[in-house]
Amino acid sequence: MAAIRMSEVTVWRWVAAEERRAVLLRDVDWTVESGEHWVVLGPNGAGKTTLVNLAAAVSHPSEGAVEVLGERLGAVDMRKLRESIGSLESGIARKIRGRYTGHEVVLTGATGSIALLHDRIGAEDRARADRLMDEIGVEALRERKFEDCSQGERQRLLLARSLMDEPDLLLLDEPTTGLDLPSRERLIASLDAMAEANADLPTVTVTHHLEEIPASTTHALLIRDGAIVAAGEIAPTLTSEAVSTTFDIEVQVAHNSGRWAAMVVRS
């Protein structure tokens, strides 16, 4: 069973003010298998979040078919399906109580809630939270108040939180946005550690910087104006030509020790 399977997917929205259809995704075919770690790259407004929202069972396609974890969107209880999908939404950090310690923030993931529901959390959940914090490398934040954590520390705690409920698919939409270089690198290291510890867990990470691709990434999807430019195993996909087309600027792509970079070509 594929984790995500999209065929001939189109998403459009009616823009009332302009009396026209805005096409957000067009003719997307994409399959994510168990154990694959995808990066979705594209400029602002390319359709990355729209794509991830389909995979997250948050929205439906206008045309075409989307299957997530073997369930066809439109023929399944979306809320039930979402219980099997982990995500790191940007909004959640603002909703979680600042008074919670790092450990408590991770524990809230056991019930998929913002608040800590003590009566629904058992010794097993606590042990899992400890193991995940160790795995992600945030054990030092165990007793730190969430409000005292830096943005990068919060993101790493939320990453551990997203794994509490044992998801079968993990979606990360721009997890590194707003982080400085050391924080970004620590989060990327946590993503690599997570991938290593959860070998079968399929993941999709959205970014618009090649420098933010974790070394554990196996596949890449390049998207521009709602259409896929290239998709497949990362090394043959992330060519200078494909990345230049995607971002509409001539770049040279470099690949070194598993990490990626794009440099603008000056003529």
Ligand X SMILES: Nc1ncnc2c1ncn2[C@@H]1O[C@H](COP(=O)(O)OP(=O)(O)O)[C@@H](O)[C@H]1O
Q: Are 229 and 27 in contact (CB under 8 A)?
A: no
Nearer Cβ to ligand X, position 42 or 109? 42
Nearer Cβ to Mg ion, position 48 or 184? 48
Which residue intervals of the chain are DSSP H helices?
Answer: 48-55, 78-82, 92-95, 102-108, 123-136, 151-163, 181-197, 234-237, 240-247
Burial of 165 (0-12, 13-18, 19+ CB in 10 A): middle
Provide the residue type at 148 as one letter: D
- Angstrom CA distances, 199 to 3, 16, 192, 203, 217, stand at 14, 45, 11, 10, 12
Interface segment toward Mg ion; rule CB under 5 A; list 48-56, 86-94, 150-158, 249-257: 48-56
Residue 50 touching ligand X (CB under 6 A): yes
Q: Are 217 and 234 in contact (CB under 8 A)?
A: yes
Residue 60 touching ligand X (CB under 6 A): no
Provide the residue type at 217 as one letter: T
Nearer Cβ to Mg ion, position 52 or 73? 52
The partner in contact with residue 74, picked from Mg ion, ligand X, none with C-beta cut-offs of 5 to 8 angstroms by kind, is none
Taking the complex as a whole, how short is the minimal distance between the CB of residue 49 and ligand X, in angstroms?
Answer: 3
Residue 46 touching ligand X (CB under 6 A): yes
Interface segment toward ligand X; rule CB under 6 A; list 40-48, 66-74, 118-126, 236-244: 40-48
Residue 62 touching Mg ion (CB under 5 A): no
Nearer Cβ to Mg ion, position 42 or 86? 42
The partner in contact with residue 47, picked from Mg ion, ligand X, none with C-beta cut-offs of 5 to 8 angstroms by kind, is ligand X
Nearer Cβ to ligand X, position 25 or 170? 25
Task: Kindly tell me which residue out of 7, 10, 34, 49 binds Mg ion, with binding defined by CB under 5 A.
Answer: 49
Any residues with CB less than 8 A from the CB of 192 and at least 6 apart, and which?
Answer: 214, 215, 216
User: How far does CA 149 lie from the centroid of its chain?
Assistant: 21
Taking the complex as a whole, how short is the minimal distance between the CB of residue 125 and ligand X, in angstroms?
Answer: 33
Residue 178 touching ligand X (CB under 6 A): no
Q: Are 199 and 165 in contact (CB under 8 A)?
A: no
Rounded Cα distance, 163 and 157, in Å? 10
Residues that bind ligand X (CB under 6 A): 13, 15, 22, 24, 42, 44-50
Residues that bind Mg ion (CB under 5 A): 48-49
